[in-house]
């Protein structure tokens, strides 16, 4: 395999991984929305559904970096920095949304068995 083919393969798998991660959080957000409707409590399902978008932006910026600006190392550096910032922000927002939903589920579990 040539180096370009391996690089293309790694970029496609990065985008596919980000897409599957995002779809997983969409499904998780739909479940959280159902909890919100049933129990009339805030589950922050909108944050849960939108937070992984930073992972997709990260993947797309890496593709953009490798496809467009391969000659200029300064521009490549800043695209890489912005990609990592989006990835970090996305991971923190995903963590916050999952912790908030976990707190609500723990609160609801306390009432199990009581009338």
This prediction's pTM: 0.75
Residue 104 lies in a domain: yes
Instruction: Give the tokens for residue 69.
Output: 């600006």
pLDDT tens track for 13-50:
888 888 888 888 889 889 889 988 888 888 888 888 88
Closest by Cα among 10, 20, 6, 96 to 51: 96
Residue 69 lies in a domain: yes
Instruction: Give the tokens for residue 24.
Output: 């997983």
Q: How many domains does the chain have?
A: 1
Closest by Cα among 73, 28, 67, 72 to 50: 28
Domain that holds residue 84: 3-110
pLDDT tens track for 85-100:
998 998 898 899 889 8
Residue 115 lies in a domain: no
């Amino acid at each position: 395999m040539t180096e370009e083919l391996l690089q293309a393969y790694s970029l496609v798998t990065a985008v596919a991984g980000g897409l599957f991660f995002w779809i997983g959080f969409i499904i998780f957000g739909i479940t959280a929305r159902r909890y919100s409707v049933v129990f009339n409590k805030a589950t922050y399902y909108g944050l849960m559904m939108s937070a992984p978008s930073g992972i997709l932006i990260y993947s797309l910026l890496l593709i953009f970096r490798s496809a467009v600006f391969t000659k200029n190392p300064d521009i490549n550096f800043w695209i890489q920095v912005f990609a990592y910032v989006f990835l970090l922000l996305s991971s923190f927002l995903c963590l916050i949304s999952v912790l908030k939903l976990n707190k609500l589920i723990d609160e609801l579990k306390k009432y199990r068995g009581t009338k």
